[in-house]
Chain A
C-alpha cells in the first residue's frame, strides 16, 4: 500500500473519463434497449432516461440540440435504438450514453416520421400539382442554395456555365447535412427571397446516406420551399432519393446537375434558333422581292397594251391594206375599160369611110364615070353613090376643097 500514491476522486473520475473517451468502440455506439425512468424533457430541453434490458440498465442523456430533432415522443417501455457515445459524468462518476439520435425499434423511425409528415403536408395541399409554378424560360438571376464546399455547387456552376452563361448566379451557402441543415436552408431561402430580381432558386446537395439527407424532410424547410415567392427547383441526393422538399418544390430533379439542366435553356439551341430565324428572314425578303418583280412584269404587259404607238402602227397597217385594195380595184377597172375602148376603136377603124372608099366599098360617079376628086364636080351636078348593096342619086349643094 505504501508504494501507492493517493489520487483525488476527481483525478480518478477524470482518468476513467479519458480512458473511455479514447476508446474508439465507445465513440460511436448503437445500443438497443427499453426506455425507463423517462420524465420528459427538463427545463433546459435535455432528456434523461435509462435504457434497460432484462438484466441490466444504463443511464442516458440526450441534450436539447439533438432532442429538438426527435421525430417522435419517447415513452417508458418503448424499445428504441440509441445512437451516440459513451462517456463519464465526472461529478458522479457515472458513465452514461450521450445520445445523438433515438429511433423506435420495428417500424423504422425515419420511415415512419417521413410517412406521417408526408401525409400531413399532403393533406394540407403542399404537394398539390396546381401549386407548382411555371419556371422562367430565360432566367436572369438564379439563386443557388447548397454547400460552399460540396460537389453539388461545382456541378451546378459547370452545367449553367456551359448551357446558359447569360445568367447570373447568386450563391447563398447552407449546410447540407447535420442538425443545422434545415435551419440554414430556411435562412438562405429567406435571404434570397429578399432579392426581387432573382427569378429562380436551385436548392440541392449531392448524394448521401438517408441520415445525411434527413434535413430535407424537415417540416419547416418543406414549408419554406413551398412558401418561397421565387420558384424553387430541388435536386437532392441521387435518383432514388425523394425528400419532402422535392415533393413541395415547383420542380424536382434527380440530382443537382439535373436541376441545373432544367433551370436553363441550352445555348446551342439558342444559336440554332437564331440561325434558323436568319435563314427565314432572308427567305422572306427574297419572296417579297420576287413577288414584287412578278407584279411589275404583269403591269408592264398591261401598260404596253395601252401604248399609243401600238395603236398608230396597227392603224397604219390597216390603211396600207386599204390602199393596196384600192389600187388593185382601180387597176382591174382600168384594164377592163381599156379592152372595151380597144374594141370600139377597132370597130371605128373598120367603118372609116375613107378607108371604105379606098377599099372600093364606096364609089361616086357622074353619068357612069367614077369620081376620085372633088375638083371634078360643080354645084348642081347629079351624082350617084354606089354602096355595097345599092345606088343612091344625089345633087351637089356645095363644094369645099381641102
Chain B
C-alpha cells in the first residue's frame, strides 16, 4: 500500500490532468521509486489509479527500458552499448564492471546494491564510453574511473529521486 501522502499526490495529479492516461509513465515512475521496482501489486495499484486495466498498463510497463518489472538494486547501471561506445572500448568496461560486481549483465549483486543493464545510445557520445547510474551520466570511462564511481556509490546513501 502506498503511504497516504504519496497516494493523495498522485490522485491529485491525475484529477488535474486533462487526459489521465497521459500520466501513465509518470505514475509508473512514482510507484517504482517508492517500491524500488514496479511489482505486480504496484502495477495493479497504478492501473487502478489511472482507471486502466492492469493489462493495459503492463503493455506499457514491459515496453519501456526504464520501467523495471523485476526487483533491481538500489543503483541501476545502464551501460551504453551504442556504436560509438562500442568503438571506444565498451567491451572492456562491461567486462570490468561484471568482474568487479561479480555479476553478469542483467543481474543484481547479492547485497542488492547494483543492477547492470545494457542500454541504447544515451546521447553522451562525446564522452564515450559512457553509462548512466540512477539517471546520472558518467564518461568517458576507464577501469580506474569505474572503480572510483563504484567505491563512491558504495559509501553514499542512494538517491532514489530520479527516473532510473
Tell whether A pairs with B.
Answer: no
Residues of A within 8 A of B (CB): none
Residues of B within 8 A of A (CB): none
